[in-house]
Amino acid sequence: MRPLAAALLLCLAAPAAATKVAGVDLPDTALVGGKTLVLNGAGVRSKFIVKVYVGALYLEQKSGDAAAILAADAPWKVSMRFLRDVEKAKIIGAFKEGFENNSRADLPALLPGLEAIDAAIEDLKSGDELAVSYVPGTGATVTGPRNRSAHVPGPVFAAALLRNWLGAKPADGDLKKGMLGAR
């Protein structure tokens, strides 16, 4: 076989490169509750003009419909790869603000879950990952960069977390669009 043909075959046989957003490589799949999820979309969470993290949403099937994603009782994962150092208190505060903006009616029921995940979250450094995943019938799990995790049973807390990114008043509209596959 000619060298050029062999090189072409190797390129075609190689796995597809991961998606890159703001210099962060994102895997094309994630394993949650024994199911392989696909990268639905990703974007950058900015606060004012400061890039905070790259957020990626993984689902069983790609969808650009936020309402359908929120209504489905299906596994999902949100991965946040931090682009800068962020204090734990700011992360917890952002989750609470998202609950106030998107899940106000459920706020009293959500606050104990927020206290529970406080144990998994710590000050994050640039390059760290904070992941939030949901498995139907089990609940939400928040996993920090050193594999510290906390679990909140049931779908209510998980749905409220997901609304922080995909709800009517997301923390970052451009990130929402990116997670829904628009780039």
pLDDT tens-digit profile of 84-101?
999 999 999 999 999 999
* DSSP labels, the chain: --HHHHHHHHHHHSPPPPEEETTEEE-SEEEETTEEEEEEEEEEEEETTEEEEEEEEEESS----HHHHHH----EEEEEEESS-B-HHHHHHHHHHHHHHH-GGGHHHHHHHHHHHTTT---B-TT-EEEEEEETTTEEEEE-TTS-EEEEESHHHHHHHHHHHHSSS-S-HHHHHHHTT--
pLDDT digits (tens, 9 = 90+) for 103-128: 999 999 999 999 999 988 999 999 99
For residues 76 and 44, what is the distance between their CA atoms, to the nearest angstrom? Answer: 19
Per-residue pLDDT reduced to its tens digit, 133-142: 999 999 999 9
Lowest mean pLDDT among 18-22, 167-171, 175-179: 18-22
Residue 18 CB contacts under 8 Å (≥ 6 apart), including other chains: 25, 26, 27, 28
Q: How many CA atoms lie within 13 A of 30 on its CB side?
A: 24
pLDDT of 4 higher than 60 = no
Full-model pTM: 0.89
Instruction: Check residue 77 and give its pLDDT.
Output: 98
